[in-house]
Structure 1
């Protein structure tokens, strides 16, 4: 778990009546924060309760596809903060106090279900969270192979999220049929199956004219920059999964290891999709662990992915494990300090 945000700067008053009621801020970690007035709270005369937002939740809230309560439920890092509005300095900056888990669950602090951005009292054209180009700052020693690995893992996840967005559209039966067939034709016995799977996803996105992921600019320096251009929502999904790893890598790595060990114990790591578990109990155990792992990775439409695997628990587990491996390889660049998303 990271240390959390320390301070924030007010960006906009979103709701104002008899004083500010809802604020948009940006924290010292360059993440957007939304905070609502909760009145007097302990030693704070004019307390605000808030949380940082992932890019995906930020866009969903301001596009009115999600309400304020949902934004709090999906808080970045599941971390929540209090600050005193009266302590905001002339430059709009304020010190944040991170609240413990028990305190954060206090229902009196949370927004009611059903408040959407259309209820804002101020006209606000939000800053773009990701846009068509995502800039990364790069540092350290980079070779051609490093750039190839970085771009390759980005491309795999970009292709995956592009397909999953269509898979989760209930009206898109064609896409559901495609991914089901793509998964079914793989043996899922080794590296070739996984490489072929992600290559098929890239080809599918190209066929449907999803903007391909491309390097828009590289500044070779230390520190330098690399700009990746592509579909904005897919780029948001990639940066979000990096954020998830940043907050919970230890737990995710533990879940990955435990799930993989379960398959190894059953001698199913290199088995064909038709292979069976030693018992129904073990099959259900692996199914539950896989769903929990996928949800921890914040993968949306987990049930749709399972259905696309023809509800084959073994294949489902291998697909989710493969997503972790690719995201983990990408995250290593971030953890080593070699890649940081530009604010």
Structure 2
């Protein structure tokens, strides 16, 4: 029999209904209350379904309902046991071949969304013209990537989740392509759920509106950068082009620092580029932090700053074309 420890109550109504529990190997289970216990100690009958941590995370974020994770994402045999399901309670379980149909939740049962942080607020994107499905996907990806990068630099001390951003900077080889895609995805997953950017509503018309809930400071920084990029003779665009050209001349764009022999002088030049780019990007207060992150790989840090700019440039293009006439405004 496996012993489980109740770690979190996800849903309750007079009694715990859905919980998270771990076994001694720290494997995670979703537990569902399906009846009162019939022993003299009382409590409730629970069945448990093991799932991968990323699946449980997606379930908690509202990406799919309870029925889906129980029936489609279960790993191994189900377990069952009796417990009051208070946080910290331990229970002994026994195998359960299958969940009785009457005990399964109905489709559409989602965990209530986390309470939003006081640092977030509604911000609006006023849209016009024709938006296809591909536009919505691209726009969402660009917002997510830009938001993740700025949040990581500006909110690292305020964040309840102390993710080691320096490990992420060093994790990827920085050849470009999917290394940067995965980097931004990891950064976004590191943001505490209450402070992630989320869509509150979409009104598609001509004109229409996308309402997002997002960190106010991050939204303002991205808005200001988009305005700068779209300004004629933009210093921001010139800074990007200069640094990109410098890397291209050295044939470093497709190479990692470990594959090159970078001299001390060239490392100083890379640090100067980091300083210049962060100033142009409105991140001058985070310059020292970026330099600290870049201690072992200033080339990688320069490349991620350039990758951040490219995402902003594509966001700015939505504004320049008139599809997104205003970006992240109060109303």
State the TM bucket, normalised to the shorter chain. 0.5 to 0.7
Q: State yes or no: 1:296 paired with 2:280.
A: yes
Counterpart pick for 2:200 among 216, 223, 226: 216
What is the aligned partner in structure 2 of residue 38 from structure 1? none
- SS of 1:216 mapped into structure 2: strand
Structure number with higher helix proportion: 1
Q: Residues 239 and 280 of structure 2 are in contact (CA less than 8 Å); yes or no, is this contact kept in structure 1?
A: no
The C-alpha deviation readout for 1:110-146, integer Å capped at 9, x for no partner, is xxxxxxxxxxxxxxxxxxxx96111111111210111
Q: Shift of residue 249 of structure 1?
A: 6.0
The C-alpha deviation readout for 1:21-71, integer Å capped at 9, x for no partner, is xxxxxxxxxxxxxxxxxxxxxxxxxxxxxxxxxxxxxxxxxxxxxxxxxxx
The gaps in structure 2 that reach 5 residues or longer are 1-118
Aligned partners of 1:306, 1:131: CA distance in 2, in Å? 28
Q: Residues 259 and 286 of structure 1 are in contact (CA less than 8 Å); yes or no, is this contact kept in structure 2?
A: no
Aligned partners of 2:247, 2:137: CA distance in 1, in Å? 31
Counterpart pick for 2:178 among 188, 192, 202: 192
What is the aligned partner in structure 1 of residue 102 from structure 2? none
- SS of 1:187 mapped into structure 2: coil
What is the aligned partner in structure 2 of residue 157 from structure 1? 146
Aligned partners of 1:157, 1:315: CA distance in 2, in Å? 17
Aligned partners of 1:141, 1:173: CA distance in 2, in Å? 40
- SS of 1:133 mapped into structure 2: strand
TM-score for both structures, normalised by structure 2: 0.57
Q: State yes or no: 1:286 paired with 2:270.
A: yes
Q: State yes or no: 1:253 paired with 2:237.
A: yes
The C-alpha deviation readout for 1:261-293, integer Å capped at 9, x for no partner, is 211222211112324455433332333133112
What is the root-mean-square deviation of aligned Cα atoms in Å? Answer: 2.5
What is the aligned partner in structure 1 of residue 212 from structure 2? 228
Q: Residues 180 and 310 of structure 1 are in contact (CA less than 8 Å); yes or no, is this contact kept in structure 2?
A: no
The C-alpha deviation readout for 1:186-220, integer Å capped at 9, x for no partner, is 01012111011111111111xx3342212211111
Q: State yes or no: 1:330 paired with 2:319.
A: no
The size of the alignment, in residue pairs, is 209
Q: State yes or no: 1:179 paired with 2:168.
A: no
What is the aligned partner in structure 2 of residue 80 from structure 1? none
Aligned partners of 2:220, 2:213: CA distance in 1, in Å? 12
Q: Shift of residue 222 of structure 1?
A: 1.3
Q: Residues 221 and 282 of structure 2 are in contact (CA less than 8 Å); yes or no, is this contact kept in structure 1?
A: no
What is the aligned partner in structure 2 of residue 201 from structure 1? 187
- Structure with the greater alpha carbon radius of gyration: 2
- SS of 2:202 mapped into structure 1: strand
Q: Residues 306 and 312 of structure 1 are in contact (CA less than 8 Å); yes or no, is this contact kept in structure 2?
A: no
- SS of 1:298 mapped into structure 2: coil
Counterpart pick for 1:273 among 248, 253, 257: 257
Aligned partners of 2:228, 2:241: CA distance in 1, in Å? 17
- SS of 1:228 mapped into structure 2: strand
- SS of 1:230 mapped into structure 2: strand
- SS of 1:274 mapped into structure 2: helix
The C-alpha deviation readout for 1:143-199, integer Å capped at 9, x for no partner, is 0111111111111111122221233x3x98984x61111111101012111011111
TM-score for both structures, normalised by structure 1: 0.56
Aligned CA distance change for structure 1 residues 210 and 310 (closer, same or farther; 3 Å): farther
- List, as ranges, runs of 4+ consecutive aligned residues in structure 1 with deviation greater than 4 Å: 171-174
Counterpart pick for 1:306 among 291, 316, 328: 291
Aligned CA distance change for structure 1 residues 174 and 133 (closer, same or farther; 3 Å): closer
- SS of 1:285 mapped into structure 2: helix
1:69-88 superposed matches below 5 A: none
What is the aligned partner in structure 2 of residue 315 from structure 1? 300
Aligned partners of 1:272, 1:250: CA distance in 2, in Å? 29
